[in-house]
C-alpha cells in the first residue's frame, strides 16, 4: 500500500512538473510564432531574455513548491502565487496597470511583490505563515488600488474603473493563494492550530 501510494505521489508530481514547464515553453514560443504572422508583435532579443528569466523563475518557484509538500492544496497555493506574481510583473512591464508602463506610480507594485517575498521568507514556506504572508500581500495590493484614484496617480482622463478592476483581480488572486495555503494548513493539522512543515505534508 505504501509503495502504491508513493508511485501515485510521484506520478502526480511529474504531472505538475510537465504542466508547469510546458506552460513556460508555450509562453516563450507564442511570441516568436506571432511575429511571423503580424507586425503587432515585435519582440527584441532583450524582450525574449526578460521573458525567459521571468518564466523560468516562475517555473522554479513552482518546482520548489512541488518539492516542499505532497499536498495538492499547498502546491496549488504555490502555483497561484507564482503565476500571480508573474502576471503582475509582465502586465506592469508591458503596458502598465496605472496609466502606461512609463508611469512611475507603477513602481508601487514593487512594494506588493516585496511584501510577498519578505512574507515568504519569514514564513519559512510553512503553510500557515504563507497564508498570512499572502493575505498581507493582498492587503498591500488593495492599498495601492485605493491610493491610485485617491492620489490621482493615473493620467488625466483615464477611467479609474479600469485600473480598479485590474487591481481587484490581482487582490482576489492573492486571496485565493492565501486561502489555499490556509486550507493546506488546516488539512495537515486536522483543523487544529499549527503549520504544515515543508517536506512532511501528507
Q: How far apart are CA 123 and CA 132, in angstroms?
A: 8
Residue 168 is predicted with a pLDDT of: 98
Distance of CA 199 to the CA centre of its chain: 21
CA 187-189-190 angle, 5° bins: 65
Question: Is the model's pLDDT at 188 over the cut of 50?
Answer: yes
Q: What is the pLDDT of residues 105-161, one digit of tens each?
A: 999 999 999 999 999 999 999 999 999 999 999 999 999 999 999 999 988 888 889
Candidates 175, 176, 171; CA nearest to 97 is 171
Boundaries of every domain in the chain: 2-188
Candidates 62, 35, 38; CA nearest to 48 is 35
Kindly state the cell numbers that stand for 201: 505534508
Q: What is the pLDDT of residues 61-112, one digit of tens each?
A: 888 888 888 888 999 999 999 999 999 999 998 889 999 989 999 999 999 9
Q: What is the pLDDT of residues 40-63, one digit of tens each?
A: 778 888 888 998 999 999 888 888
pTM: 0.82
CA 49-52-56 angle, 5° bins: 145
Q: How far apart are CA 71 and CA 90, in angstroms?
A: 29
Amino acid at each position: 500500500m505504501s509503495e502504491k501510494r508513493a508511485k501515485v505521489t510521484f506520478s502526480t508530481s511529474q504531472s505538475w512538473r510537465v504542466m508547469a514547464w510546458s506552460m513556460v515553453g508555450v509562453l516563450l514560443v507564442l511570441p516568436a510564432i506571432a511575429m511571423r504572422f503580424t507586425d503587432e508583435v515585435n519582440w527584441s532579443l532583450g524582450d525574449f531574455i526578460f521573458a525567459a528569466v521571468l518564466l523560468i523563475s516562475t517555473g522554479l518557484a513552482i518546482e520548489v513548491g512541488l518539492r516542499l509538500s505532497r499536498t495538492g492544496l499547498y502546491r496549488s497555493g504555490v502555483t497561484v502565487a507564482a503565476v500571480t506574481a508573474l502576471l503582475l510583473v509582465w502586465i506592469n512591464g508591458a503596458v502598465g496597470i496605472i496609466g502606461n508602463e512609463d508611469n512611475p506610480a507603477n513602481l508601487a507594485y514593487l512594494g506588493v511583490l516585496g511584501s510577498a517575498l519578505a512574507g515568504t521568507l519569514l514564513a519559512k514556506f510553512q503553510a500557515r505563515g504563507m497564508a498570512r504572508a499572502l493575505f498581507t500581500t493582498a492587503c498591500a495590493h488593495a492599498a495601492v488600488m485605493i491610493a491610485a484614484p485617491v492620489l490621482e496617480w493615473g493620467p488625466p482622463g483615464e477611467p479609474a474603473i479600469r485600473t480598479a478592476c485590474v487591481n481587484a483581480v490581482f487582490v482576489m488572486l492573492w486571496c485565493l493563494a492565501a486561502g489555499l495555503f490556509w486550507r493546506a494548513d488546516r488539512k495537515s493539522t486536522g483543523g487544529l492550530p499549527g503549520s504544515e512543515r515543508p517536506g512532511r505534508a501528507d
